[in-house]
Amino acid sequence: MKWGRAAGFAALFSFAGAPVAVAQDVNLTSHDGQIEITGDLLGFDGEFYRVDTVYGELTVDGSGVICSGPGCPNLENYVARLTFSGAPVVGRVLMPALIEAFAIRNDFEVRRDNLQDGQFLYALMARDSDALLAEFTFHLTNTDEGFADLLANEADVVMAVREVRPEEVVRARERGLGDLTAQGRSRVIALDALVPVVAPDNPVQEITPLQLSQVLAGQISNWRNLGGVDAPIDLHVRDQVSGLGQATFDQLLVPVEQGLRDDVYRHTSNLALTEAVTNGPFSLGVTSRSEPGDSRELALSGACGFALKASRTAMKTEDYPLTAPLFLYFPALRLPKIGREFVNYLNDPSAQLVIRRAGFVDQNPEEIAVNVQGDRFANAIAQAGKDVDLAELQRMVQALTPLQRLTTTFRFEAGSSRLDAQSRSNVLQLAHAMESGAYDARRLVFVGFSDGEGGAAANRDIAMRRAETVRQAVETAAETADLSGIGLETHAFGEAMPMACDDSAWGRQVNRRVEVWVR
């Protein structure tokens, strides 16, 4: 290998391109013949070569070199190929809908080819010439298998119903895939939720999160303990290797430090679960809001009178405590150009509309007028006491009634000052909107709330610190926004407007939040 000025055109990043099944020799020579790089071709994305040399991996701009050797790709008929692997709830309906909309937007022809074992491929072609531009292949397995495929270099993108596990993060670093927890390595593309479901004719209408956890743990086993008939509860959950099954365990059993009861029916698909629950008069299941089948959702309630179903608004604001974001995870590798364009398209308002029509909850911020939030203010009055007096309620009402609430809400991980996954995505969404000018000449007010544990003054202080933390995070992310044209403020009202009961970890988690109000 002739080194010379090789660093002058070796990029400082890697990429995921058309996979190279067996690394083959290539020789990259600059146009003036002064620089030559020899090694094994690891990948090509239509623009850059990735080559394994005696000096390590180099990423080289293809426009600056001539490639010779058995491993050189066909530059004229390059096809971008990406493999998506993981959760069927993401890949079965949502991703195909987004790919087809992306193709229409870019005037591509699109063709779906069904492969073996329920897998499929989308081919994107130029409309004027029918030239094949890209192939997106989908392996519908589960979240665990999606990360395993990524680590084994058998997938480029993971479709996940949970966040990456610490052990997966470590293994990804060891394999040179970067930090999967870093900004840019994952994206929340839509919102789903865990919902308790029963047969349509079951008389029970609601259940508390604690009761649901106790059913899962076997501490409640009869419907009479939930206000139903005297009959045993037949429990149905997803299999433990699925992202939904793992999210059920993480969100409902980990907080109470319990394990799943032994006599439970496990299912390999949401369809099988909901069919079993629908046909079982004494069945209770936990499934995804996007695939309820013919079963009936139970509202999540609390001893203090609150009750919520997984509505679009409740999920966007995370007022519903069992919201489950759907993720795409990317390694620290450069995607082919058409892959990057597709990922960027996911932020477009038209893509958010596709997400909504596919039966999931999008992340486009919505404004909620004060006059449709009467229940929230009524609950604030009902829960007021010696720590939240009339003067404090009046202060809150005076500050908020001229404004409208955004569905963009920020919450923190349990026992942590770190924003949860949905909220980290909200930071980027709000920052992007500010950069685009959506809030120019408007006021954005970050309003902190707390749970009811501790004194009122201390809770207001905590809520204010959280509001200021979120505001700073959004300002930092909005790098190109003209903040001088946006009125940014912070307020805090502590425990004055609870969204759930403080008698459970879920209720306290829901109450600890930073809302965004706008005028």
Closest CA to 286 of 251, 311, 336: 251
Which uninterrupted H or E stretch holds 354? helix 349-357
Count of beta carbons in the 10 Å neighbourhood of residue 429:
19
User: For residue 38, what are the domain limits?
Assistant: 6-68
Closest CA to 80 of 135, 23, 128, 25: 135
345 and 438, same structural domain? no
242 and 162, same structural domain? no
32 and 164, same structural domain? no
Q: What residues contact 138, with CB distance under 8 A and at least 6 apart?
A: 83, 84, 85, 91, 95, 119, 120, 121, 122
Instruction: Look at residue 303 in the predicted model and tell me its pLDDT.
Output: 67
Q: How far apart are CA 468 and CA 474, in angstroms?
A: 10
Count of beta carbons in the 10 Å neighbourhood of residue 303:
12
In a domain, 467, yes or no: yes
511 and 377, same structural domain? yes
Instruction: Look at residue 236 in the predicted model and tell me its pLDDT.
Output: 98
512 and 386, same structural domain? yes
CATH value at residue 142: 3.40.190.10
Write down the residue that tokens 């692997």 correspond to. 85
pLDDT in tens, the chain (519 residues): 444 444 433 433 344 544 444 457 888 998 888 888 999 887 777 778 888 888 887 888 888 888 888 888 777 678 888 999 999 999 999 999 999 999 999 999 999 999 988 899 999 999 888 789 999 999 999 999 999 999 998 999 999 999 999 999 999 999 888 999 888 899 999 999 999 999 999 999 999 999 999 999 999 999 999 999 999 999 999 998 888 999 999 999 998 899 999 999 999 999 999 999 999 999 999 999 999 999 999 999 876 667 788 999 889 888 888 999 999 999 987 788 899 999 999 988 899 999 999 989 998 888 988 777 766 776 667 666 667 777 878 888 888 888 999 999 998 887 677 888 888 888 988 998 899 899 999 999 999 998 888 888 888 899 999 999 999 999 999 999 888 889 999 999 888 888 777 777 777 888 889 999 998
- Domain end: 68, 94, 122, which one? 68
In a domain, 133, yes or no: yes
32 and 129, same structural domain? no
Instruction: Look at residue 19 in the predicted model and tell me its pLDDT.
Output: 43
305 and 228, same structural domain? yes
Write down the residue that tokens 């903040």 correspond to. 483
Strand partners, 18: 44
CATH value at residue 53: 2.30.30.100
Q: How far apart are CA 491 and CA 332, in angstroms?
A: 38
Cα separations in angstroms, 396 against 492, 495, 505? 9, 11, 25
CA dihedral 331, 337, 342, 348 (to 10 degrees): 110
369 and 432, same structural domain? yes
205 and 276, same structural domain? yes
In a domain, 321, yes or no: no
In a domain, 134, yes or no: yes
472 and 376, same structural domain? yes
Count of beta carbons in the 10 Å neighbourhood of residue 13:
11
Instruction: Look at residue 50 in the predicted model and tell me its pLDDT.
Output: 80
Strand partners, 349: none
Judged by DSSP in three states, 239 sits in coil
Instruction: Look at residue 5 in the predicted model and tell me its pLDDT.
Output: 40
CB 311 within 8 A of CB 318: no
State how beta strands 132-140 and 265-267 pair. Answer: unpaired
The radius of gyration of the chain from alpha carbons, rounded to an integer in Å, stands at 26
Q: How far apart are CA 280 and CA 201, in angstroms?
A: 10
Closest CA to 439 of 388, 390, 475: 475
CATH value at residue 464: 3.30.1330.60
Instruction: Look at residue 502 in the predicted model and tell me its pLDDT.
Output: 75
Closest CA to 429 of 448, 407, 400, 445: 407
453 and 398, same structural domain? yes
State how beta strands 323-329 and 186-198 pair. Answer: antiparallel
Closest CA to 154 of 262, 81, 98, 97: 81
In a domain, 456, yes or no: yes
State the pTM of this model: 0.80
In a domain, 324, yes or no: no
Instruction: Look at residue 385 in the predicted model and tell me its pLDDT.
Output: 61
Q: How far apart are CA 12 and CA 383, in angstroms?
A: 57
213 and 123, same structural domain? no
Task: Kindly tell me the burial class for residue 396, based on how many C-beta atoms sit within 10 Å of its own C-beta (0-12, 13-18, 19 or more).
Answer: buried
In a domain, 213, yes or no: yes
DSSP output for 415-444? TSSSB-HHHHHHHHHHHHHHHTTTTTT-EE
Instruction: Look at residue 383 in the predicted model and tell me its pLDDT.
Output: 64
Q: How far apart are CA 376 and CA 234, in angstroms?
A: 35
In a domain, 75, yes or no: no
Instruction: Look at the chain and report how many structural domains it folds into.
Output: 4
